[in-house]
Structure 1
């Protein structure tokens, strides 16, 4: 699913007003939001310099609820490791990294995407309309995000898949092995939530209108709700795998769309064909995987009641609703995909019909008779 995420077209449009806007005005905040959020981050980091404020700064910057885990191997050797659990203080950490995402978004836009688009336009003498510029910025940002998500998700999956790809690792030893996450897994979920939440301040910073906000709010809320549920209910392993599939699909789509807009037609057409295949396969695989994990896997160690202290949420109600949610989301995305392609097919058929009508109903040219022919008549 494609939707605009933090579009910044103002840096590529020549400013007509040379005077700086008043400090603390809306325009001042919009133009300098990257610098403002950087200052906020620096103030939080300065809290580590004093003992009185260090504990507060840690809540915002460092992942919370770390604990030491003692495991005994098959050889009766004691292995000590450190992991992280889920808790309410994670809200403050997500809030801090939401501000960080706004800063990173502005940096990527100004120093990578804007310069790349300017270079492409200058070298190829390409004229980009405002609508195309919006899509270029959107695809540039989401290409970077999905590339990061895919890489980080694969890195996290190495913790529980290790050398063998055993699908039973997605549900075995729940909740004992699932409620305590490695640092990289916990940080992955924090960044995912922060990224999608940073879209809401971007509505203000990019001056979105009512219809534009409505169009973008639904997919953002879906991502926030799905990731939050998988994280809070300790279904983090299956959530990681599903997000890896989503990241791979989004990565291909936004690479193809970026190349299509800058008129690399041959490469973009090939990538769009790959995307169409990967998208359909991904919907099927994600649905089947969710069915195996939630219908069959978690059913083995199902519990009748929720145990918050142990982090066990594997009741039949939660398990089946989680499966239902995944299936509905896959169906929703596939329906949008099918409607888009049916619309294109209908449009191409109507164009062909108009062409055939114009060729068959061509008026016969009138022949003007000469004076001699008229006399003969």
Structure 2
């Protein structure tokens, strides 16, 4: 993300610079069109598809359950409209955090262009990861995922979701889709775009896969686990930018990153490889959303394992690069400084060189002259 340069002259309307400077206001106007459409009967039916969750199914109350009826949701094509609307909301929130939080901190800290870009990235992602992790944990607790882990595979397919569950997935898809136009709005450097596209694509692929294959229970647990580890990394990087001696957060993140990859593989194999493999209903049925067949299970496990291997490979390269930088930084400090005695002979030897070899640490060297003058 490049630094925005505010010019005194306003750019022409609908020009490239105008869109970049005012993209949040433009997107806000588009979102307001959908909200205003709810006020009129003619447009309400179309606007409600974008604003509210679709495909709800009301289950009547039973004697065993509470007196109130329960509304559950499944997915469909209309969810694309809802994802689009909340993608606009994500762009607006992104701009608010950037302008009212990150830009103010950047002006105080006076970061370089490289640090400015990384600080903005970590600031945005740490806010999102924290919010999503807390939200996901609340869903896990409220739906008894922690007390009963068998819910990950029991009663599959999980084609009916609670309001919180479906809204969580809609929000996740909307956020990662909004990252594509943000590459343009934030003037991302060309060399950074491939890296950004890779991890945005990986997020969308796995979140959409869990949503469409009715593996939303497993997907929620893995997302909360992954988001917590990523939040720790980006918050540690924010502290590192303010104090470059700060390394404790990265050390803790390195341990949790490896544990997170291990737990992801264990939960995936336990759910898909054992839980779903032993289920009675193993027939492909699009009407009920049952994808519990051998080919799908192999594809799911393969995609998860390949992604975890790719992340570990990137992690190892990152750690090796950090260790090299740390070793090169510590190398000059390890060298012993020459001791200077008060005798005349040693002073004369230092001036003319030791054993006939001219040294660069002589008493009359520019460095020592500077020390004497100070």
Note whether the superposition's TM-score is higher than 0.5.
Answer: yes
Contact residue 2 and residue 113 of structure 2 kept, 8 A: no
Contact residue 302 and residue 316 of structure 1 kept, 8 A: no
For residues 204 and 350 of structure 1, the distance between their equivalents in structure 2, rounded to whole angstroms, comes to 37
TM-score under structure 1 length normalisation: 0.85
Instruction: Determine which of 86, 98, 103 is the counterpart of 1:109.
Output: 98
Secondary structure in 2 aligned to 1:211? coil
Aligned to 2:135: 152
For residues 104 and 332 of structure 2, the distance between their equivalents in structure 1, rounded to whole angstroms, comes to 43
- Say whether residues 1:207 and 2:207 are aligned partners: no
Aligned to 2:9: 19
- Say whether residues 1:9 and 2:6 are aligned partners: no
How far apart are 1:186 and its partner, in Å? 0.6
How far apart are 1:28 and its partner, in Å? 0.5
- Residues 8/306 of structure 1: CA separation in 2 closer, same or farther (3 Å cut): farther
How far apart are 1:314 and its partner, in Å? 1.1
Aligned to 1:341: 319
Deviation per CA, 1:114-173, whole angstroms, max 9, x where unpaired?
Answer: 22333xx2xxxx4311111111111110110000110111122124326x5221010101
How far apart are 1:9 and its partner, in Å? 3.0
Aligned to 1:374: none
Aligned to 1:371: none
- Say whether residues 1:82 and 2:71 are aligned partners: yes
TM-score under structure 2 length normalisation: 0.85
- Say whether residues 1:301 and 2:279 are aligned partners: yes
Contact residue 37 and residue 43 of structure 2 kept, 8 A: yes
- Residues 365/91 of structure 1: CA separation in 2 closer, same or farther (3 Å cut): farther
Deviation per CA, 1:168-202, whole angstroms, max 9, x where unpaired?
Answer: 01010112xx2111111111111111111111111
Larger displacement relative to structure 2 (307-316 or 240-249): 307-316
- Say whether residues 1:279 and 2:257 are aligned partners: yes
Contact residue 160 and residue 169 of structure 1 kept, 8 A: no
Larger displacement relative to structure 2 (25-34 or 149-158): 149-158
Contact residue 132 and residue 261 of structure 1 kept, 8 A: yes
For residues 238 and 352 of structure 1, the distance between their equivalents in structure 2, rounded to whole angstroms, comes to 45
For residues 262 and 127 of structure 1, the distance between their equivalents in structure 2, rounded to whole angstroms, comes to 10
- Say whether residues 1:183 and 2:163 are aligned partners: yes
Deviation per CA, 1:75-118, whole angstroms, max 9, x where unpaired?
Answer: 58876311110111101111111111111100111112222333
How far apart are 1:341 and its partner, in Å? 1.3
In structure 2, stretches of 5+ residues that fail to align are: 339-352, 359-374
Aligned ranges 1:1-377 → 2 under 5 Å:
7=1, 9-10=3-4, 13=5, 15=6, 17-70=7-60, 72=62, 75=64, 80-118=69-107, 121=108, 126-161=109-144, 165-175=147-157, 178-263=158-243, 265=245, 268-301=246-279, 303-349=281-327, 364=354, 366=356
- Residues 113/210 of structure 1: CA separation in 2 closer, same or farther (3 Å cut): closer
Which of structures 1 and 2 has the larger relative contact order (alpha carbons within 8 angstroms, sep 6+)?
Answer: 1
Aligned to 1:3: none
Aligned residues: 345
How far apart are 1:335 and its partner, in Å? 1.2
Contact residue 2 and residue 116 of structure 2 kept, 8 A: no
Contact residue 68 and residue 83 of structure 1 kept, 8 A: yes
Deviation per CA, 1:328-357, whole angstroms, max 9, x where unpaired?
Answer: 111111111112212333455566678889
Secondary structure in 2 aligned to 1:210? coil
How far apart are 1:214 and its partner, in Å? 1.4
